[in-house]
Amino acid sequence: MTTPQLLFKQLRNSYCVVVKNLEALSVVQIQELQKFVADRHGYFDFETFTFCIQKRVAFTEFVKLLDSLEIVADVEEQRVRSVAESKQIGFGKYKGMLYSELPDSYLLWLKKNYNGDDRIVIMDELAKRAL
């Protein structure tokens, strides 16, 4: 059985995990990951092989959590680039925040649901985060 390859990214108020080898996993393994995400009220995007959870968790805590749930996976940490030059979001729940500070889950939601002027900024930020 293939071991899931996870790339963990911690953000300000959430964390995001890329399942690098999702297509190679068994149905049971994928269901296990889906349950993990659903139990934490997260969002799993199968187009980008990414799940995001709205909770601040450090890398070591995430690894311990997987171990405690007996989820076997190879996990590595990706450092998020510094919050440098970025445009502020002008609407909604996160109005006034920089796009670079938004949770991955919200950016993924915007990707599917927003077609306004800042669409290019959203797509650029998603590309920076490899989402």
In this structure, is residue 98 part of a structural domain?
A: no
Cα atoms found within 13 Å of the Cα of residue 101, Cβ hemisphere only: 14
Mean pLDDT for 57-85 is: 83
Query: Residue 81: what pLDDT?
Result: 52
Q: Report residue 86's pLDDT band, with 50, 70 and 90 as the boundaries.
A: low
Residue 17, beta-bridge partner list: 8, 51
Query: Residue 82: what pLDDT?
Result: 44
| 70-91 core/surface letters (b: 16 or more CB in 10 A; e: else) | ebebebeeeebeeeeebeebee
Cα separation of 110 and 115, whole Å? 8
In this structure, is residue 68 part of a structural domain?
A: yes
Tens-place pLDDT, residues 1-48: 899 999 998 887 889 999 999 999 999 999 999 999 999 999 999 988
Q: Which domain holds residue 63?
A: 5-77
78 pLDDT higher than 90: no
In this structure, is residue 116 part of a structural domain?
A: no
Query: Residue 118: what pLDDT?
Result: 83
The tally of domains found in the chain comes to 1
Q: Cβ contacts of residue 75 below 8 Å, gap of 6+?
A: 6, 7, 8, 59, 62, 63, 66
In this structure, is residue 55 part of a structural domain?
A: yes
In this structure, is residue 42 part of a structural domain?
A: yes
Q: Which among 117, 75, 74, 81 has a CA at the least distance from the CA of 100?
A: 81
